[in-house]
């Protein structure tokens, strides 16, 4: 019995240490450990919405205009759900305002819908706390049955936030503490 407990503790610690060291699931047998070790094929392209054009979508892709939201925070506010984003992190999705096919046709059935974001290297920057509530234009592939979007390109609308974090540089609409680092947010100077 003691030998079993010792083995379980050792295995648990090796998985924990592997996750802390960034080696995925400890043994490297998971798919995501292999993906993380590969070189990123295409960097996440951040472009100012005013100065650059959105690339034309390729076959199977769409252009989505919408707002980045946290479904957990929204449910907590509107339906009194017991979400704990401060503990487990936000569940990001894009609330669509307009979805266009590669041929330029508006996909009405996809308008006004929440699409969860498939986490990958191209969506990594988008899934930051300081982007919540920002208007975005993304090019990617929709998985309509699952209500998921795989992002290939992101273009941000200029931030209208009135507060910023002096430590990590995040922009926020309301005063308070930075959700990332806990520093007090400071009001942006009006230009």
Q: Which range among 51-55, 89-93, 164-168 has the greatest average pLDDT?
A: 89-93
How many CB atoms neighbour CB 56 within 10 A? 10
pLDDT tens digit string along 6-38? 433 333 333 333 333 343 333 333 343 333 333
Residue 130, pLDDT > 80, answer no
Average pLDDT over every residue of 44-72: 73
**What is the Cα–Cα distance from 37 to 29, expressed in whole angstroms?**
12
**Residue 159, pLDDT score:** 66
Q: Is this prediction's pTM over 0.75? A: no
Question: Looking at residues 62-82, what average pLDDT do you find?
Answer: 93
């Amino acid at each position: 019995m003691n030998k079993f407990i010792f083995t379980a503790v050792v295995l648990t610690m090796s998985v924990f240490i592997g996750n802390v060291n960034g080696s995925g699931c400890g043994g490297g047998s998971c798919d995501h450990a292999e993906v993380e070790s590969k070189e990123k094929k295409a960097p996440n392209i951040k472009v100012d919405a005013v100065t650059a054009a959105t690339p034309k979508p390729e076959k199977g892709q769409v252009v989505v205009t919408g707002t980045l939201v946290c479904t957990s925070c929204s449910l907590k506010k509107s339906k009194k759900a017991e979400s704990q984003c401060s503990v487990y992190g936000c569940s990001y999705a894009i609330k669509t305002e307009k979805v266009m096919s590669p041929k330029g046709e508006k996909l009405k059935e996809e308008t006004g819908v929440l699409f969860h974001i498939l986490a990958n290297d191209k969506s990594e920057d988008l899934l930051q706390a300081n982007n919540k509530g920002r208007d975005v234009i993304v090019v990617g592939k929709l998985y309509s049955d699952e209500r998921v979007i795989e992002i290939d390109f992101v273009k941000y609308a200029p931030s209208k936030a009135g507060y910023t974090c002096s430590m990590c540089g995040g922009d926020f609409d309301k005063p308070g503490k930075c959700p990332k680092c806990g520093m007090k947010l400071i009001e942006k100077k009006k230009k």
